[in-house]
Every structure is written in structure tokens, then in C-alpha cells.
């Protein structure tokens, strides 16, 4: 499958690597290809810059947002900084988005006042809903946004059963995303479909809790698990 990944950071890199390992062809979209390729210094967390990462991953091509989305034959992974999420899709040429599935991993985190970040969308709306409203012909499925990127693509890093949430309006799109999650190693029993896209309000608002747990346990290798009592 030809898949577009929008976002050059550690999340986009992790998803692109996994998709290539599974046999998909991937192009990563960015705002400025030359500028992105010129980035070689690791970020503040020690993650490789996209320029260095591309040299180590020659199977992945870096192109503009519009070129990546046009290349996709149905699936787009949205791994952007939340504040640039809608603008990146507007740059992709909306006609190229029609009918495609957007796996939305973005979170509405505002770091303008430092750590810990606040949410610039919450309670009565979600970033995923804003994306869906802005691009009504796009099939937005919110998932994978409540965990670190290593766990996204390799759930076995966390022992036992733990949960990946999913929200979206289109049942067929969610079934497609479910199959992709299963290919990442997620057991079907651990994939929880919360309902329509408005339920993404809940998963996006988990992030302040996630960040505080991470500060406490000092490792990104954890996740939330939902265990339902037997009736």
C-alpha cells in the first residue's frame, strides 16, 4: 500500500519505519523539503533529526505535504505538531484528501508557557473534530495518540493487555485502521472503538495525565489498560 506520513518528528519516523518493515511504500510529507533535509542535529529528547534519519532509511522519500497526500492510495498518517495540524492538511491540496482515511495521532498541546503543556482545545471540542469539520470528505480516525511512539508500533514493549483507543465517524475506515493496528501487533481485544469522532475529546484530554505519569515513572514504556469486570 502507498501510505503518506505527514510529520518529520519522532512519531512520523517511528510510523514510517514500521510501515516500511510491513511492506508498505511510504513518503513523508513536510513543509519545506530542503530545510528538513538540512536538519541533522538531534532534538532535545535525543531523537534523530529528519535529515540524519533519512540517510539511515533510504526506502522513505521526503516530499511536500501535497506530494505525499497525492501519492497515498487511501491512507494518510497524521503525525504533526497539533498546532500545525490543520494548516498542514490545507497545504496538502484538499482535492487530494477526498475519500481518504486520516489516522490522526495529533494532540492539541500548547507548550507556549513551558512544561507541562496545556490543551488549546478541550472539553467541548477536540482537534480531531476540528479536522473532520474542516475537511468533511476526509475520513478521520483518531488513534495511537495516548502513548509513546515506540509503544504505538510495538505494543509488546508493555507487558500484558493494554489499550489503544479509536474514534471516528466512518465504520469502514475504522475497520481499515483496526487491521493496520493489528499488523502493528495490537490484539483485537485491546483495540477499543469509543464511537464517533466526538469521543476523541476524551483521548486528547488524557495527555496531561500521560505526561504526569511519564514524569513519575521516568520511562515512556507504559500505557493505559481498560479492564472491564465480568457481568
Domains of the chain with CATH codes: 2-217 (3.40.50.720)
- Please report where in the chains the cell 505538531 appears, as a residue: 81
pTM for the predicted model, two decimal places: 0.95
Instruction: Return the higher-pLDDT residue of 45 and 106.
Output: 106
- Alpha-carbon torsion (180, 184, 186, 188), positive or negative: positive
pLDDT of 164 reads 98
What does the alpha-carbon distance between residue 231 and residue 228 come to, in Å, rounded to a whole number? 9
pLDDT digits (tens, 9 = 90+) for 192-228: 999 999 999 999 999 999 999 999 999 999 999 999 9
**What pLDDT band is residue 47 in, cutting at 50, 70 and 90?**
confident
What does the alpha-carbon distance between residue 10 and residue 151 come to, in Å, rounded to a whole number? 12
pLDDT of 150 reads 97
Q: What is the average pLDDT value for the chain, to the nearest integer?
A: 95
Rg value, the chain, Cα: 17
Amino acid at each position: 500500500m502507498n501510505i503518506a506520513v505527514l510529520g518529520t518528528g519522532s512519531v512520523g519516523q517511528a510510523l514510517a519505519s514500521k510501515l516500511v518493515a510491513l511492506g508498505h511504500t511510504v513518503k513523508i510529507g513536510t513543509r519545506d523539503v530542503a530545510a528538513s533535509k538540512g536538519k541533522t542535529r538531534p532534538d532535545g529528547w535525543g531523537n534523530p533529526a529528519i535529515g540524519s534519519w533519512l540517510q539511515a532509511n533510504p526506502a522513505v522519500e521526503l516530499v511536500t505535504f501535497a506530494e505525499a497526500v497525492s501519492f497515498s492510495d487511501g491512507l494518510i498518517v497524521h503525525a504533526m505538531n497539533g498546532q500545525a495540524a490543520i494548516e498542514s492538511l490545507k497545504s496538502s491540496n484538499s482535492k487530494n484528501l477526498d475519500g481518504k482515511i486520516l489516522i490522526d495521532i495529533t494532540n492539541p498541546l500548547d507548550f507556549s508557557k513551558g512544561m507541562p503543556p496545556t490543551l488549546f482545545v478541550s472539553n467541548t471540542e477536540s482537534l480531531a473534530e476540528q479536522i473532520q469539520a474542516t475537511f468533511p470528505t476526509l475520513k478521520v480516525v483518531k488513534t495511537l495518540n495516548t502513548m509513546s511512539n515506540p509503544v504505538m508500533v510495538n505494543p509488546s514493549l508493555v507487558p500484558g493487555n493494554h489499550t489503544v483507543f479509536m474514534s471516528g465517524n466512518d465504520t469502514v475506515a475504522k475497520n481499515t485502521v483496526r487491521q493496520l493496528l493489528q499488523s502493528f501487533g495490537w490484539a483485537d481485544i485491546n483495540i477499543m472503538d469509543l464511537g464517533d469522532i466526538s469521543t476523541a475529546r476524551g483521548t486528547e484530554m488524557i495527555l496531561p495525565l500521560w505526561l504526569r505519569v511519564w514524569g513519575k515513572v521516568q520511562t515512556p514504556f507504559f500505557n493505559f489498560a481498560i479492564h472491564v469486570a465480568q457481568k
